[in-house]
Structure 1
Amino acid sequence: MTAISTIQGSGASSPLAGRTVTTAGVVTGDFQPAELQSGFFLQSEQGDGNPATSEGLFIYVPGANPLSRIEVRPGDRVRVSGTVKEYRTGSGTLTELDTISALTVCSTGPELAPALVSLPVEAITDLEAYEGMLVTFPQVLTVTETYNLGRYGELLLSSGGRLFHPNNGQGGSPEEYPLRSILLDDASSRQNPAPLPFLSSPGVDGTRRVGDTVSGLTGVLSFQFSEYRVYPTAEPAFVNANPRTAAPERIAGEVKAASFNVLNYFTTLNSRGANSATEFARQKAKIVAALKALDADVVGLIEVENNGTVALQDLVDALNAAYGAPVYAAVPDPATGTGSDAIRVALIYKPGSLSLTGESLSFPDPMFDRYPVAQTFRRNTGSNQTSTDFTVVINHFKSKGSCPSSGDVDQGQGCWNQKRVEQARKLLQFVGELQRRSGDQDVLVIGDLNAYGEEDPVQTLVAGGLEHLSLRIPAAQRYSFVFDGQSGELDHALATPSLAARVRGITPWHINADEPAVLDYNTEFKTDDRYAPTPFRSSDHDPLLIGIDLGAVCPR
């Protein structure tokens, strides 16, 4: 009889790989069905006293093996014979017993108590000593990534709260984040699980948001696809610590301005956005619901199809239909165009609240594929008799992706950072031109800058005299996007000093970044489709709302 700890050894791989052994232990996790893991986890009842060796082992018994018909349950005492194997999926391996030749349930008794594991660990390799074992994380863990929930039944959890991008201003480092994180896996071997696991409630209102928490997570620790993961043996006790809100936080200000990346709103189907008329109707319903709840006087839109005014007017028409009245209008396109990219920025506004002063302008510089677009507005009515004009500039800087092989490569701020810095310099030039043309100093700069708050493009704008209004948002709420488990603010608001003094409030509305992607408008990869025509997951970016009093300078 070979002890499980001897099979596991004290390193990343078993010293007995390829050898046939017989071992015994207590079943801690039963995942025998083919739609799960086609096996179970076995653990020594008495350990060897060596903290470097795991006492757990995965026993792989697929349906083709006649012994798979022997059912085991947690607490069963089992003796098993098979071949030691290092099973590889990605980088790293899982030690398991394969080619099972004998399997006997000897008796049934109490289930084993889980080993306690706390995050952060000092090194990722510390978890190897618990591979295959029943474990409990006694602390509060926070959901920090939901992207793969619908595709693979996975949630990324972290200790110490959600993970923020290191360049966003909340602290943290990419070196420490893996030590604070663990993957929660539904143990299903199938893609697109149905029903969706870990949701807050059944039906279309169910979600699981970044920022929600779980305590006392218990399951077996496995290693698959290059990551340690927990297959729960008890239902995780989630707390809806970051609940949805039906509308953005109320902020002061006679005029409300908003920025919203609408994630490829394309009337041309099967291009960047919706692939079918059904998907487009679903996408439109969600975006309209979000815009209607924002109810801003002027909205800067990002990622609208650049097909003249077709897509933009389609969205305005749908929004007005939802109001049942012509509440919004599109700002006419600038004579100098909107750029050569497939997507563009645009402005819509409420003619009942604001009037256009002069024509819209863009900045047709070759540094931009998507030109910044600006319009000067005047408030129609208000309690202040000294109402002033103000100008809004909507932007979409170069993305961090599609990296070049040389030149403007990632040096810690994503690819194309040098180009984004140059775009920031050009934007400052544009702001100066707008002030000279309008004769008014009040300029609001909004949009998706594809840069986090402490990165060079944003700091270039600040050094050029703009106030970063987003810094007025509490640090814990200062994000609009989640990527690779890290929250950060890509969508910003900045203002010239004179307008910054008139800003009464600013708030993000977290309807998208925190939500699982599986709740969006798309129809593919959804065995369990929870779509609802609500604002939630209408895009992948959160909108930003700013409140302004135009008639008076506001004390800070």
Structure 2
Amino acid sequence: MSSSVVPRTAALAALVAAALAAGLLAGSAASADPATGSAAGSGSDSAAADPAAAVRIHDIQGATRISPLVGKPVAEVPGIVTGVRAYGSSRGFWFQDPQADENPATSEGIFVFTGQGSTPTVKTGDEVRVSGTVAEFVPGGASSGNQSLTQISRPTVTVVSSGHEPPAPVTVSARSVPDAYAPAGDPAAGGSVNALTLRPHAYALDYYESLEGSNVRVGTSRIVGATDPFSELWVTVKPFENRSARGGALYNSYASQNTGRLQIQSLIPIAERPFPKADVGDVLTGGAEGPLDFNQFGGYTLTARTLGTVTSRELERESTRPQRRGELAVATYNVENLDPSDPQEKFDALGRAVVGNLASPDILALEEIQDDSGPKNDGTVDSDATVRKFTEAIVAAGGPAYDWRSISPENNKDGGQPGGNIRQVFLYNPERVSFTDRPGGDAVTATGVAREHGRAALTLSPGRVDPANSAWESSRKPLAGEFVFRGRPVIVIANHFASKGGDEALTSHRQPPNRSSEVQRLAQARSVNTFVKEILRTDRRADVLVVGDVNDFEFSATTEALTDGGALYPAVKSLPKKDRYSYVYQGNSQVLDQILTSPSIRDFSYDSVHINAEFAEQNSDHDPQVLRFRP
């Protein structure tokens, strides 16, 4: 950064700090009026010094992410209403100045926050004059790391006339969105980009910020994130950007952020028009038009005043092939907080998936099996009823009568939904594979490695790996089990690493964002890697599989730590790049679930079986993984 930029950066950083202290950079979406507190901001702007002076929306928005008028009163700001949000905790409306300035960095639109329970009385097309206080609202609170939304709060609104056409939308397209995602944050401001002058022709985040609050449109676009329970979906305006084999947008490096992704919501009441149901690869025909918002759960979001229709591409759920004679099939599946109170339909669907889509694997490691009382926080830790209901559904679907092994956690010590006591569970088909029981395993006792008949063996099976290590605090401890297939021992370690909760969003005001959760997963990966190395020191020929929801990417430091010293290989890397994903988040198809192999397992067949993550109707938010090999 040049020295000429530093004084301005420091001044604006001080402005942000002052606004935070005064309550002008507000907290979560459930907060009251975000302008609460005394006024703060720079006093150098003549319009700010004189609230009666002529202030336009672009003066309020300014050329950085923080308004130069934050904390200041503004009066009689003119514009045309482009959209009204009459629901939720952030009610209000957007309006836009039809008389744009010549600076591409300054948005001509802005949100007017009318209150949590105050329904706006204006209509789209009203010409209005708005007076109020300029504020910066941070969805999720300042600690979230999210960027802020510039808005006018405590408004007084005068409708001058009605029936106007909204200002012509800016078309967001492959041509208009830069390929570079974001500028590097200023080290002097803790890595924040807030004070940097926007460069909308250079960076995608700057481009979107320069349109914050403005009327925008996307044309017919491919859907890269399925409709979720909150009536949202994701499209891409860049059809060829990191396209997956099935129509998604691959997230395959920290430098590949898929700049064409944009979240779509609707301002049309559900009673008037239900939000369309879409799967990945479908097409939003006719696109969408409306104000560009910024929210906690997706960043820049087109809040559609007009919305096209979904053209289905009839995406099918995949099925893996059955294991061949002499092949051992091992799978991992996160079944998303499964407990006996879930509808029978979910158990039946999961059972059908195990039989029909996963071809009844010999060993199935499950994640997120809850205790028998589910999220009820009553001290229950056993999960026999949950697993029994699942295995019965598999039999009903025509599958094998699986047996199972697991270890119940200490109450509320393994994270997840409070009271749910999620854990990993091994299912195995006793007609194909046997389990070597070595008693004594419990929630707090670590299994070790012994040498038996010249081969590595677990001292406890099932047993937990390194449970006293601080890496596993408030997190699921690995479950190790020893199996025998056709006379050959196989050790499987089932994992569910710490979640990404607490990480800053890709749209964070810090660039690159802070991935704070990675610290714990790194420690967890090193713990598992150390245990695998102990097995291999005992028997370098040992067949070891590390499976589960690793909650991290195949290119991450977590995966690097797991594979340290050549102890393990991430089998997902054997797939073509366009098929490497098990989860879709904010329109990014990415790897979270993995199976890693020890060096003795050289020849294998691997499949990421896409049956959930790309679909609006899901039985889990994860796709299962299957690996077949000959021990």
* TM-score (normalizing by structure 2): 0.61
Pairing of 1:21-420 with structure 2 (within 5 A): 21=76, 23=78, 25=80, 27=81, 29-31=82-84, 33=86, 41-58=94-111, 68=121, 72-74=123-125, 78-90=126-138, 92-96=148-152, 99-100=155-156, 102-105=158-161, 112-117=167-172, 118-120=176-178, 121=200, 122-123=202-203, 124-137=205-218, 140=221, 142-144=223-225, 149-151=228-230, 153-157=231-235, 159=238, 160-161=241-242, 170-173=252-255, 177=257, 181-187=261-267, 198-200=275-277, 208-210=278-280, 212=282, 214=284, 216-223=287-294, 227-238=299-310, 240=312, 244-250=315-321, 253-254=324-325, 255=327, 256-267=329-340, 277=341, 279=342, 281-293=344-356, 294-298=358-362, 299-304=364-369, 305=371, 307=382, 309-323=384-398, 327-331=400-404, 342-352=421-431, 354-356=432-434, 359=437, 361-367=461-467, 369-378=477-486, 389=488, 391=490, 393-400=492-499, 413-420=518-525
* Contact 1:367/1:419 (8 A) holds in 2: no
Which of 67, 82, 86 aligns to 1:13? It is 67
Q: Does 1:423 align with 2:522?
A: no
Closer/same/farther in 2, CA of residues 247 and 37 from structure 1, 3 Å limit: same
Q: After TM superposition, give the deviation of residue 453 of structure 1 in Å.
A: 2.1
Closer/same/farther in 2, CA of residues 482 and 195 from structure 1, 3 Å limit: farther
Q: After TM superposition, give the deviation of residue 458 of structure 1 in Å.
A: 3.7
Closer/same/farther in 2, CA of residues 40 and 363 from structure 1, 3 Å limit: closer
Partners of 2:568 and 2:159 lie apart in 1 by: 71
Closer/same/farther in 2, CA of residues 463 and 213 from structure 1, 3 Å limit: farther
| Structure 1 counterpart of 2:623 | 542
Closer/same/farther in 2, CA of residues 375 and 104 from structure 1, 3 Å limit: same
* Contact 1:506/1:544 (8 A) holds in 2: yes
Partners of 2:77 and 2:596 lie apart in 1 by: 67
Tell me the SS of whatever aligns to 2:292: strand
Q: After TM superposition, give the deviation of residue 240 of structure 1 in Å.
A: 4.6
Q: Please give the root-mean-square deviation of Cα atoms over the aligned residues, in Å.
A: 4.5
Q: After TM superposition, give the deviation of residue 441 of structure 1 in Å.
A: 5.0
Partners of 1:128 and 1:471 lie apart in 2 by: 36
Gaps of 5+ in 2: 1-52, 139-146, 179-199, 245-249, 372-380, 415-420, 439-460, 469-476, 503-513
Pairing of 1:481-492 with structure 2 (within 5 A): 481-482=583-584, 486-492=588-594
* Contact 2:89/2:116 (8 A) holds in 1: no
Tell me the SS of whatever aligns to 1:500: coil
Closer/same/farther in 2, CA of residues 81 and 421 from structure 1, 3 Å limit: same
Higher relative contact order (CA 8 A, sep 6+): 1
Partners of 1:411 and 1:33 lie apart in 2 by: 36
After superposition, what is the alpha-carbon deviation per residue over 1:110-167, rounded to whole angstroms, capped at 9, x for unaligned?
Answer: 6643223332453434444433332224585653586xx424x44455553579xxxx
Q: Percent identity?
A: 20
* Contact 2:110/2:213 (8 A) holds in 1: yes
After superposition, what is the alpha-carbon deviation per residue over 1:194-238, rounded to whole angstroms, capped at 9, x for unaligned?
Answer: 7996433xxxxxxx3456554754322234559443211321454
After superposition, what is the alpha-carbon deviation per residue over 1:466-524, rounded to whole angstroms, capped at 9, x for unaligned?
Answer: 443221222222122345665432322233455432x2x321122333345xx5xxxxx
Q: How many residues align?
A: 467
After superposition, what is the alpha-carbon deviation per residue over 1:273-311, rounded to whole angstroms, capped at 9, x for unaligned?
Answer: xxxx3x353542332232232232312223334627554
Gaps of 5+ in 1: 201-207, 268-276, 379-387, 404-408, 520-536, 551-556
Closer/same/farther in 2, CA of residues 489 and 89 from structure 1, 3 Å limit: same
Q: After TM superposition, give the deviation of residue 544 of structure 1 in Å.
A: 0.8
Q: After TM superposition, give the deviation of residue 88 of structure 1 in Å.
A: 4.4
Closer/same/farther in 2, CA of residues 424 and 177 from structure 1, 3 Å limit: same
| Structure 2 counterpart of 1:500 | 602
